[in-house]
Chains A and B, each alone.
Chain A
């Protein structure tokens, strides 16, 4: 006696959050059944395996049918086919667009192209996330990217109203879109210790301070592209390292300010010129797209690693950067205060965020 047909449909669409998660995680029906069985559901409800399988199948079918609506969450809200209470809809959307930390670290900053999609099986093998789930997450990134890429207005808000995501998730997606657009390198070995959260924070800083939107909030791509003029102006900062007097003056101001306040004063004093050169060179090179991509790796190589080597504490780094930024104002002949502030406030928060093990 084989089951030919077996469906169970509710007027209010029947959805189990656990099964939904299993489906999102890309498990097959059989895997999902065995996972559910391990949770002791059979004993709890006194059911049999075939009932559980049938139930799982029903859920999977429902989810497959809702998937095309989930691609356009605003459609899910206005559709008539499934009667789903609002809080459930929100849950469905939020979970559908949620992503795995391990996955996003693999893809962050990569071009969301067919080529990357082809490599997803490697990602899957590396992270242990099922290929199906990888594809869903990748497609989500790409879909959000395509929709908001050319839109006017703030990136986070655009993501939020088009995909009805929560604040937190919308901000994460904004970061993903931003990284994908500028193709920041995040996959190098030296950057492996950084979490997605670190990058998301940095992206947020960059979006708020360095993009076109930071000056004018009604242009296209305002939050996606960096402000070209600003990047050009950054070249002017070079004077801080090319002008020998200024460099020495800057050093002495910083040293005066920090004497007795940080534990690694000597190391700082010895290394000041290197650090300052590193910071200013990063700024000066940002006009090249290639160097923009290496922004994070440069920060790590030029600033974070040397400090770590000398066992700076994070408080030392904070004190140094604060003093370093402020002292430049007092320099004679330094006329680029605004650009300097705009540059250093982002650099400072990024470095502090990234300064951990």
Chain B
């Protein structure tokens, strides 16, 4: 069914001088949609033309409306030669297709040119008349809302969470087509920008269709990625979680997470169904008191501990796939619950959720981090319409993740994400998530209430329930050291919990959280094709193991016991691999206190050496106690008897469930285990190694008053001001074969959400980009008053706030206007005039911000949430007279927010 798109070009301003003789410009505008083009009159000799055109009308299919961007080109009229392009504006009209979002796009858009950057602005109005299409076989999916945030948007209520949606679209990369040899760099950049815009439109439409099929009306946690595979093509893929959302009309309720009914039920439920009444009897019978006030969020964890002498046993995985679903033993209620949920999830191929925070009561248990990696060799995509190879690759990985989750006794994966790293023809595909047991209530249509009378098998209080192990204690998927939950003392918890999700708001936390990072760099030999892939896949398990050990050590050093928002990224370059793991460490009240770190030498005979070791040991102990002080971790001392008898396992072992597979689909696992009970032992061979370990473990401390984390909420800190500032920082270092490098010294800015994405291009060339958010720390509050200065005229530019978070502190979100999905290419041949590489990138990032802001303002919005600069590829070609090409893909949801300051 067709829709009618109407476009009006009003005026331009600040145009560049195109005619040197008169220092003026004769500008006109071409408006193109799909295959139709309109032109305005030429407005002669002005840098601020007033076209005031008629409404150009395009009659188009709604399928096109979703796929195609509106393309506006500003040109300089030239009587004798070809007209010169000034620049372009691409407008995604998707937000207009959703009934409750914006009705008109109207505002000043920066005119962008891939060679010159922003060149003036143009005022455009866009409207759409859409005729509703009820055809069952339609190809369009107008009206499905997309949210980039990985939590249920604040002014909506999740009625049903349907589950995982994924799609990928492939195409040939215009940069590598034969025509590229004869066309100008500008034309080729524009072809690429347009193609990607088209592809992401198509992708969104297809995902929308899937959502409609599932009966949903929105996609939450929409994550879109580009793989620039070079000669073999261009892949745009996306994953998300389909949901049915209801708008909350009562605005006062909007601040609470969507569903609070289940939590009530949980609270009211009796605690009689403890699966392990015998062991429990030794504990006190007063746990209920504690539960009433502490509400803790649901989290998933993976626990593991390791010592440096652990042997890596790469055992073939057998029996893991059998699943933890039914009939393990005992017929416990837990199993029952699992079966119920299972049925809800069974229809689904992949019970995955990209969400990282959930409505209260959604998450019952978290099992641990599951991840899978696979190394692939890229080959040319022969038929863009049948992207089967790429689909198959991801399918494989997802199956693997699913089986890992099953092995952990979980039927779902939450906080799920996928990523790739490409270097020449080798591609590493990675996926990770947190195995979890979910409340079936949210997963089924129309039975929100049918469970209300059911006994709730899981009676754990919300503040610690998610920590309880989902697997059967007697039949653990991996050896782990279990204790009774320090909060309710009824169920078992592991000693460490690693998860990819956000800290649930109801979780009981002791002290403050902090950012923990592990960094690693491994050299590899230069190789081609198959050999290269093999070399990389051989290195991967070691890297993962080492990152993991680092994380664990750092966690212990801070006296914490859980990691949230864990992201492990492994990037591949020509002769090195780089790994970066970042997460937010917290001390979960429910989990046991972490043990210390013990240093053990291998040659105890030498006295001086012993001395040295003990010095180090002392330093480490000091650091731990200092950190405990710093993060205010003062857990209540609980005597041994109260905790209950420790599990009669003299040796605790834990295994990180993780594998990487090569093309052969061979699955291997790491067994990270250690043999001491409480302490964490680092064994070292020589004195130098000690220094290494020490320097590796101790990051430069943040200045007082500054906190950083990579999750949505800063654990343990609540008094945010409403003043926020978002920033992007990019650094590139040339590495001189140094094995370990200090990646980033995050200093003197309080950070809340950071996400890192980096890639290596060329030899030992490294890029990191971190769009991050800076929140004013409580210390800075006093400086936020505006001084009024009279000499300012009113600005026509709307202030737009941006944040990578899913909310804006101190402000209330009134309306969601849609998704902003932009892709930019910038190239220059005059690097020196642009102020070098840094100057060039600085300008470019500022331009990207400006363009995002302009689009948001045109939609009538004043804020951008969940902003992420997904990809930042940097290519330098010194042969071609210093050409630099940059790609930035920025994705965000747009919002109109209303402020209310507390």
Contact = CB atoms under 8 A, between A and B. Distances in A.
B850 A81 contact: yes
A325 interface: no
A175 to B, nearest CB: 18
Interface stretch (A9-17, A224-232, A277-285): A9-17
B745 A51 contact: yes
B696 interface: no
Given A11-B801, A65-B842, A1 B789 contact: no
Interface stretch (A54-62, A194-202, A238-246): A54-62
Nearest to A81: B850
Q: Chain B contact residues (Cβ within 8 angstroms of A): what range?
A: 35 or more
Contact of B792 (A9, A47, A77): A77
Contact of B797 (A3, A48, A80, A91): A80
A8 B846 contact: no
Interface string B668-685: 000000000000000000
B728 to A, nearest CB: 5
Interface stretch (B34-42, B343-351, B733-741): B733-741
Give the dominant DSSP class at B's interface. mixed
A7 B874 CA distance: 14
A80 B789 contact: no
Interface string B4-39: 000000000110000000000000000000000000
B719 interface: no
Q: Chain A contact residues (Cβ within 8 angstroms of B): what range?
A: 35 or more
A1 B738 contact: yes
B118 A81 contact: yes
B849 A86 contact: no
Given A4-B837, A10-B727, A87-B786, A82 B795 contact: no
Nearest to A7: B842
A164 interface: yes
A46 B747 contact: yes
Nearest to A78: B796
A9 B745 contact: no
Given A47-B703, A166-B791, A5 B731 contact: yes
Q: Which of A2, A13, A78, A166 has the most CB of B within 10 A?
A: A78
A64 B774 CA distance: 24
Interface string A59-71: 0011011000000
Interface string A77-118: 111111101110111011000000000000000000000000
Contact of B791 (A61, A83, A165): A165
Give the dominant DSSP class at A's interface. mixed
B118 A83 contact: no
A75 interface: yes
A1 B733 contact: yes
Contact of A82 (B727, B736, B838, B846): B846
A249 interface: no
B110 interface: yes
B372 to A, nearest CB: 33
Q: Which of B701, B704, B731, B847 has the most CB of A within 10 A?
A: B731
Contacts of B837: 4-5
B747 A9 contact: no
Contacts of B62: none
B789 A87 contact: yes
Nearest to A82: B846
Nearest to B108: A80
Given A1-B738, A3-B733, A87 B788 contact: yes
B841 interface: yes
Interface string B769-804: 000001000000000001111111101110111100
Interface in B787-826: 787-793, 795-797, 799-802
A51 B741 CA distance: 16
Contacts of A327: none
Given A9-B729, A10-B726, A64-B835, A48 B745 contact: yes
A295 B749 CA distance: 58
Given A9-B727, A51-B747, A79 B14 contact: yes
Interface in A38-54: 45-48, 50-51
A6 interface: yes
A160 interface: yes
A74 interface: yes
Interface string B853-879: 110000000000000000000100000
B731 A3 contact: yes
A49 B283 CA distance: 56
B798 to A, nearest CB: 10
Interface in B299-327: none
B236 interface: no
Given A6-B838, A7-B841, A14 B850 contact: no
B772 to A, nearest CB: 10
Contact of A81 (B741, B748, B846): B846
B730 A86 contact: no
B795 A62 contact: no
A74 B107 CA distance: 19
A45 B703 contact: yes
B897 interface: no
A40 to B, nearest CB: 14
A9 B846 contact: yes
B98 interface: no
Nearest to A89: B792
B269 interface: no
Contacts of B799: 83, 85
A45 B748 contact: yes
B791 A90 contact: yes
Contact of B845 (A1, A3, A9, A74): A9
Contacts of B13: 78
A46 B703 contact: yes
12 contacts: A1-B733, A9-B727, A10-B726, A11-B727, A14-B727, A46-B748, A61-B839, A77-B796, A80-B850, A80-B853, A86-B795, A166-B789
Interface of A: 1-14, 45-48, 50-51, 57-58, 61-62, 64-65, 74-75, 77-83, 85-87, 89-91, 93-94, 160, 164-167
Q: Which 10 A-B pairs have the closest CB atoms?
A: A5-B732, A90-B789, A10-B727, A46-B703, A8-B729, A11-B726, A9-B845, A11-B802, A4-B732, A45-B748
Given A7-B728, A78-B797, A85-B786, 8 more contacts: A6-B729, A10-B728, A46-B748, A48-B747, A51-B745, A79-B797, A83-B853, A87-B787
